[in-house]
Amino acid sequence: MARQKGTLSMVDALSVTDLSVAIPGARPLLDQLSFNIAPGERVGLVGPSGCGKSLTAAALCGLLRPPLAITGGMAQIDGVELVGAAPQVWRRVRGRKVFQIFQSPGTALTPARRIRAQLAETARIVGEDPKQAVTSALETVALDPHVADFFPYQLSGGMKQRVLIAMALILRPRILIADEPTTGLDVLTEREILAALTKMADEVGSSLLFVSHDLRAVAEVANRTLVMDHGRLVEDAPISNLATSIAPAARQLAEAAHALQIQC
Ligand SMILES: Nc1ncnc2c1ncn2[C@@H]1O[C@H](COP(=O)(O)OP(=O)(O)OP(=O)(O)O)[C@@H](O)[C@H]1O
């Protein structure tokens, strides 16, 4: 495995070194993860259910809840150390340096505010003209301009995900972490979301860490894949190399994806 141990170089958007997460006193749930992501790089994080993908995303977004805790290692975004960072550091980092999109987009939107107000507020945070930013971000994620007048409850799951991607477009984060953003969506909506994600990352130059159990979805957005198994990183390779990996979890994922390919 071409595993990069990660002292932060000038070019890394994210550098993770020996990151461990556990309930203190118990065995680690994340065990000494190390990887780097370059600016603009799009990386998939895959592995079997329960291997630690979501915990990794949560740790990098400062969203672990006690008794879970980071028990060792470092994680830097754009040179800012996240492990042990104070709340005021997180307020500076969250959104502008790391933006997260999760499975349930509804929880990230304020229920009683129209989409226009929420996107405009985001634009003001970064000093953008709100009107222009809202129009242009909605257009980039292929949402009708009228969506700006809606409340979150009036949107489908796929539309809410696109609103969040529009928010990321306005904030221009250094890295976007998307944890299973298309789970529960139909396949056409899934492809639209993946297209919006890659377009957003291309326009802004953001790096993308795309968490999924679905290698086919990862293949749409990333060409490098991190594979986890039982809390450890077991492979770091181009997606096309997984079938011949020495890591059984990587080979099993490649075989499953191959078996699911349907000729239409
Ligand atoms: N709050 C928690 N307290 C204790 N253990 C937890 C907690 N959250 C997750 N875990 C454990 O950590 C491990 C990794 O969980 P995680 O949610 O990261 O898996 P995952 O790879 O995202 O799985 P899936 O693909 O099913 O979403 C699992 O064994 C899980 O039971």
Contacts of 191 by beta carbon, 8 Å cutoff, 6+ apart: 220
Candidates 54, 183, 209, 252: which one to mutate for ligand 1, based on the most atoms within 8 Å of Cβ?
54
Between 44 and 9, residue with greater pLDDT: 44
Contacts of 183 by beta carbon, 8 Å cutoff, 6+ apart: 103
Q: What is the dihedral of CA 175, 45, 200, 167, to 10 degrees?
A: -60
What atom in ligand 1 is closest to the CA of residue 228?
21
For ligand 1, the distance from its centroid to the CA atom of residue 58, given in whole angstroms, is 10
For ligand 1, the distance from its centroid to the CA atom of residue 40, given in whole angstroms, is 28
The per-residue pLDDT for range 248-264, each reduced to its tens digit, is 999 999 998 888 775 55
Rounded to whole angstroms, the Cα distance separating 210 from 171 reads 18
What atom in ligand 1 is closest to the CA of residue 211?
22
The per-residue pLDDT for range 163-199, each reduced to its tens digit, is 999 999 999 999 999 999 888 888 888 888 899 899 8
Specify the DSSP element, H or E, that contains 262. none
Give the relative orientation of helices 130-140 and 115-125 as an angle to the nearest 10 degrees.
110
Between 264 and 10, residue with greater pLDDT: 10
Protein residue with its CA nearest to atom 29 in ligand 1 = 50
Verify whether ligand 1 is closer than 6 Å to residue 55 (CB atom). yes
φ, ψ of residue 145 in degrees (nearest 5)? -55, -30
For ligand 1, the distance from its centroid to the CA atom of residue 233, given in whole angstroms, is 15
| pLDDT of 14 | 96
What atom in ligand 1 is closest to the CA of residue 58?
18
β-sheet with 69-77: strand ranges across: 30-37, 14-22, 69-77, 80-81
pLDDT averaged over every residue in the chain: 90
Whether residue 145 is predicted with pLDDT greater than 70 in this model: the reply is yes
Query: Across residues 196-220, what is the average pLDDT?
Result: 91
Domains along the chain? 24-108+174-262 (3.40.50.300)
Q: What is the ipTM of this complex?
A: 0.97
For ligand 1, the distance from its centroid to the CA atom of residue 65, given in whole angstroms, is 12
| Beta pairing class for 69-77 and 80-81 | antiparallel
| pLDDT of 108 | 85
Verify whether ligand 1 is closer than 6 Å to residue 261 (CB atom). no
| pLDDT of 2 | 43
Q: What is the dihedral of CA 230, 34, 67, 82, to 10 degrees?
A: -160
Protein residue with its CA nearest to atom 30 in ligand 1 = 50
Whether residue 6 is predicted with pLDDT greater than 60 in this model: the reply is no
Task: Enter the tokens of residue 199.
Answer: 């377009």
The per-residue pLDDT for range 103-122, each reduced to its tens digit, is 877 788 999 999 999 999 99
| pLDDT of 3 | 42
Candidates 51, 71, 232: which one to mutate for ligand 1, based on the most atoms within 8 Å of Cβ?
51
